[in-house]
Amino acid sequence: METQVKVDLTNFRLETRKWLEENCPISMREPITDAKQLYWGGSKGKFSSEDQEIWFERMLQKKWIVPYWEEKYGGGGLNPEQNNILNQEMSRLGCRKPHINFGISMLGPALLKFASDEQKLHYLNQICKGEVRWVQGYSEPNAGSDLANLQTKADDNGDHFLVTGSKVWTSYGDKGDYIFCLVRTDTSSKHTGISFLLIDMNSEGVTTRPIKLISGKSPFTETFFDSVKVPKKNLVGTLNDGWTIAKYLLTHERQMIGGIGETDKKKSLSEIAIDVLGKNEGILSDTSIRSKISNLEMNEKIFDLTIQRALDEHKAGNNSGAASSFFKYYGTELSIQKEELRLEVNGFNSTEWTSEESRNGLEARYFCRSKGHSIEGGTHEVQLNIIAKRILGLPTK
Ligand X SMILES: Cc1cc2nc3c(=O)[nH]c(=O)nc-3n(C[C@H](O)[C@H](O)[C@H](O)COP(=O)(O)OP(=O)(O)OC[C@H]3O[C@@H](n4cnc5c(N)ncnc54)[C@H](O)[C@@H]3O)c2cc1C
Cα pseudo-dihedral 37, 41, 46, 50, rounded to 10: 60
Rounded (10°) angle between helices 323-346 and 287-315:
160
Q: Quick check: 269 binds another protein (CB under 8 A)?
A: no
**Smallest distance from ligand X to CB 371, Å:** 8
For another protein, what does the binding mask look like between residues 161 and 190, x meaning CB under 8 A?
-------xx---------------------
**Smallest distance from another protein to CB 376, Å:** 7
- Contacting residue, 62, 113, 129, 380, with another protein by CB under 8 A: 380
What residues are paired with 284 via a beta bridge?
Answer: 279
Contact of residue 378 among another protein, ligand X, none (CB under 5-8 Å per partner type)? ligand X
Angstrom distance (rounded) from CA 257 to CA 133: 19
Complex with ligand X: residue 11 or 145, whichever CB lies closer: 145
**Smallest distance from another protein to CB 96, Å:** 27
Q: How many CB atoms lie within 10 A of CB 149?
A: 13
Q: Quick check: 211 binds another protein (CB under 8 A)?
A: yes
What residues are paired with 199 via a beta bridge?
Answer: 179
CA atoms lying within 13 Å on the CB side of residue 8: 9
Burial of 250 (0-12, 13-18, 19+ CB in 10 A): buried
Complex with ligand X: residue 336 or 382, whichever CB lies closer: 382
Q: What separation in angstroms does the CA of 51 have from each of 8, 95, 371, 376, 387?
A: 31, 12, 34, 33, 45
Q: Quick check: 277 binds another protein (CB under 8 A)?
A: yes
What residues are paired with 179 via a beta bridge?
Answer: 135, 199
Complex with another protein: residue 37 or 379, whichever CB lies closer: 379
For another protein, what does the binding mask look like between residues 302 and 341, x meaning CB under 8 A?
--------------------------------------x-
**Smallest distance from another protein to CB 357, Å:** 8
Cα pseudo-dihedral 27, 33, 35, 36, rounded to 10: -40
- Contacting residue, 9, 54, 60, 213, with another protein by CB under 8 A: 213
Angstrom distance (rounded) from CA 266 to CA 364: 15
SS3 label, residue 8: helix
Contact of residue 136 among ligand X, another protein, none (CB under 5-8 Å per partner type)? ligand X
Complex with ligand X: residue 44 or 301, whichever CB lies closer: 44
SS3 label, residue 342: helix
Q: Quick check: 52 binds another protein (CB under 8 A)?
A: no
Positions that interact with another protein (CB under 8 A) = 139, 142, 144-146, 149, 168-169, 211-214, 216, 276-277, 286, 288-289, 340, 343-344, 346-355, 357-358, 361, 364, 367-369, 371-372, 374-376, 379-381, 384
